[in-house]
Amino acid sequence: MDRKAFRKDQTGEIYRIIADRRGAFIQPALFEGFGLTVLEAMRSGLPVFATLYGGPFEIIQDQISGFHINSVNGKESTQKILDFILRWKENPKIWERISSRAIQRVDTAYNWDLYAKNLMSLSKIYTFWKYSSNIEMEEMGAYLDVLYHLLYKPRANGILKAHNRK
């Protein structure tokens, strides 16, 4: 594809054309920090095959709203894609089931309303600390420690455990 002919604002339409033709989105990166393309493809209704390293591991519910692939293991990844295609050929509803679950996953877990709500909650917590104390660096450190131990560390441990089960 000519890079000059491609426009980012057309990406959604490209995903929709592929979805209308019952295609799939395969993202074979070794690691993906967040997974914006994965979210875009899922929201367009495409069954997604994406790396299990990084953001897509949390975004995709394997075998439910998409598929995790291990890009390091090409044979395993190829087999997973081929298995889906063969099952889909036998039963076209399989594609529709994954497609609808992908859309539902993005709509319920990765939307602007949810993001804004979380951001507002965090800003309210910060504002509370800012106005209830002079929030010196020592207090800020304690606040960040609480967030780390109560929110981020348990989430990271959960992701690691799920990854190790694979």
State the Cα–Cα distance between residues 110 and 108, nearest whole angstrom: 6
User: Which residue, among 109, 20, 100, has the nearest Cα to 59 in the 3D structure?
Assistant: 109
pTM of the predicted model as reported, rounded to 2 decimal places: 0.70
If DSSP codes are grouped into helix, strand and coil, which group holds residue 26?
Answer: strand
| Cα Rg, the chain, nearest whole Å | 20
Which tens digit of pLDDT belongs to each residue from 76-98? Answer: 999 999 999 999 999 999 999 99
User: Which residue, among 3, 71, 90, has the nearest Cα to 32 in the 3D structure?
Assistant: 71
pLDDT above 60: residue 135: no
pLDDT above 70: residue 130: no
What confidence score (pLDDT) does residue 112 get?
A: 84
Which tens digit of pLDDT belongs to each residue from 33-72? Answer: 899 999 999 999 999 999 999 999 999 999 999 999 998 9
pLDDT above 70: residue 2: no
H/E element holding 46?
Answer: none
What confidence score (pLDDT) does residue 44 get?
A: 96
Q: Token pair of 32, please?
A: 């993906």
Name the band, by pLDDT with cuts 50, 70 and 90, for residue 151: confident
In the chain, what are the domains? 8-110 (3.40.50.2000), 113-165 (no CATH)
